[in-house]
Amino acid sequence: MFSAASRAFQEDLDQRGLLREYAVKDAVIAASFVMLAATEMGLATSPMNGWADLRFAKGTALGRPLRASVVSGGCGGRGG
């Protein structure tokens, strides 16, 4: 029953052209929790918005514009 309701909800979003917007909002919520968890682990975090798609693509192996909502990375560990 839940699966059918979920499918209908997704189809409705798609028909109204809102599927990507809804996915972006979900990704932002998930990224917020990742940032909180990283901060708890002692890592510095910072949200970022807006980058030049073509310049970003040239700096990666993609070679094409990136339509992404979340790009994350990390490094290091705790010294001991």
The answer to whether residue 72 is domain-embedded is: no
The answer to whether residue 67 is domain-embedded is: no
What mean pLDDT is predicted for residues 24-53? 82
Q: Which domain holds residue 13?
A: 2-58
d(CA 29, CA 68): 14
The answer to whether residue 19 is domain-embedded is: yes
- Residue whose structure tokens are 């998930």: 30
What mean pLDDT is predicted for residues 64-79? 58
pTM exceeds 0.85 for this model: no
What's the total number of domains in the chain?
Answer: 1
Percent of the chain's residues with pLDDT above 90: 15
The answer to whether residue 66 is domain-embedded is: no
The answer to whether residue 63 is domain-embedded is: no
pLDDT band at 16 (very low <50, low <70, confident <90, very high): very high
* Nearest residue to 63 (alpha-carbon basis) of 71, 55, 73: 55
17-21, 37-41, 53-57, 65-69: which range is least confident on average? 65-69
